[in-house]
Chains A and B, each alone.
Chain A
Amino acid sequence: NAGVTQTPKFRILKIGQSMTLQCTQDMNHNYMYWYRQDPGMGLKLIYYSVGAGITDKGEVPNGYNVSRSTTEDFPLRLELAAPSQTSVYFCASSKSGTGGFDEQYFGPGTRLTVT
């Protein structure tokens, strides 16, 4: 199993450009998450999904959009990129969602710079 894969690993965007961060998991997990990680700030939840066709906002959703058409894929869309979106983005998945008891498996991250 590859686990959770993310592409690209690095990207530089100009202000106002758009892009999609790809995330795929091969563990048949229903639950998927997008986080951003800024220095000294831990992980902040952007969006999450509890199954194909179901998504919801996390703590910091502004400027982002997601879709979940299959169990495996959970792309994150950035529209009109801003410097404040410079960050490292992590996708994660878990088998169940009950009470935070389940392990979240993380991808290797996408390092995005907006200039």
Chain B
Amino acid sequence: TQLLEQSPQFLSIQEGENLTVYCNSSSVFSSLQWYRQEPGEGPVLLVTVVTGGEVKKLKRLTFQFGDARKDSSLHITAAQPGDTGLYLCAGGRGSSNTGKLIFGQGTTLQVKP
């Protein structure tokens, strides 16, 4: 079983602080997706990274795929209360034609005004 471990599991910070969430595995993935989920709703895709070492930016969010494609990170600069939510990483396998993803257990972020 491929596992994706996210850390930390819970993060509570003040508005304006920076933070990094990590997603680690001992297995290689062909792609790594990050989703954000708000209470009472389903996850929504933020980004997909597919190349080792790839960095993508989405406003104040920076996503990186590890060189060996076994890990990823999400960095948020100057966090705002609107960033509050559950962040999930999910890995995909290139050999699969089923679309199946392996999800990490999630990181709950709380940004206090």
Contacts and interface: CB of A to CB of B under 8 A. Distances in A.
Given A48-B100, A109-B40, A100 B88 contact: no
A100 B90 contact: yes
Interface in A28-70: 31, 33, 35, 40-45, 48, 50, 56, 58-59
B44 A99 contact: no
Given A99-B93, A101-B92, A50 B98 contact: yes
A96 interface: yes
Interface string B32-58: 010000001111110010100000000
B22 to A, nearest CB: 14
A48 to B, nearest CB: 6
Interface stretch (B13-21, B59-67, B72-80, B101-109): B101-109
B31 interface: yes
B81 interface: no
Given A99-B92, A104-B99, A40 B9 contact: yes
Contact of A108 (B40, B94, B97): B40
Interface residues of B, number: 33
A56 B98 CA distance: 10
B88 A42 contact: yes
A109 B104 CA distance: 18
A4 B45 CA distance: 14
B42 A100 contact: no
A99 B95 CA distance: 6
Contacts of B101: 45, 100, 104
Contacts of B103: 35, 42-44
B84 to A, nearest CB: 17
A99 B29 CA distance: 9
